[in-house]
């Protein structure tokens, strides 16, 4: 996506409208939850989420509130009737769902 010659990404949009301390707090809480959840399961690998991932997630989440589709999975659809919007480019569907399921504040 381009706006006035700038490459506007979902993460950039989220960083513009959401204060850094809020995104960092979300990242810290999510990663703390993941560590606590996996503390008794040594075979499972922790999947950290960085600030950029949180920003991209929030941008997609915001987009989903404006442009509604029947299911979350439809935003990554390859069918002609539900073409994937550019906002989901750069974040795999499974990664989005993983953050969705493991985001605890």
Sorted by where each begins, the domain ranges of the chain are: 2-102
Q: What is the chain's mean pLDDT, rounded?
A: 76
Question: Kind and range of the H or E element at 32?
Answer: helix 20-38
**CA 12 vs CA 9, 18, 38: distances in Å:** 5, 10, 31
| pLDDT beyond 70 at 62 | yes
How many residues does this entry show for the chain? 105
Q: How many angstroms from the chain centroid is the CA of residue 90?
A: 10
pLDDT confidence of 46, banded at 50, 70, 90?
Answer: low
């Amino acid at each position: 996506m381009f706006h006035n010659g700038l490459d506007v990404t979902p993460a950039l949009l989220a960083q513009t409208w959401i204060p850094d301390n809020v995104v960092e707090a979300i990242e810290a809480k999510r990663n703390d939850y993941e560590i606590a959840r996996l503390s008794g399961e040594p075979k499972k690998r922790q999947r950290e989420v960085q600030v950029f991932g949180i920003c991209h997630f929030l941008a997609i989440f915001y987009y989903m509130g404006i442009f509604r589709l029947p299911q979350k999975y439809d935003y990554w659809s390859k069918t002609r009737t539900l073409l994937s919007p550019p906002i989901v480019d750069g974040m795999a569907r499974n990664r989005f769902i993983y953050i969705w399921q493991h985001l605890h504040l």
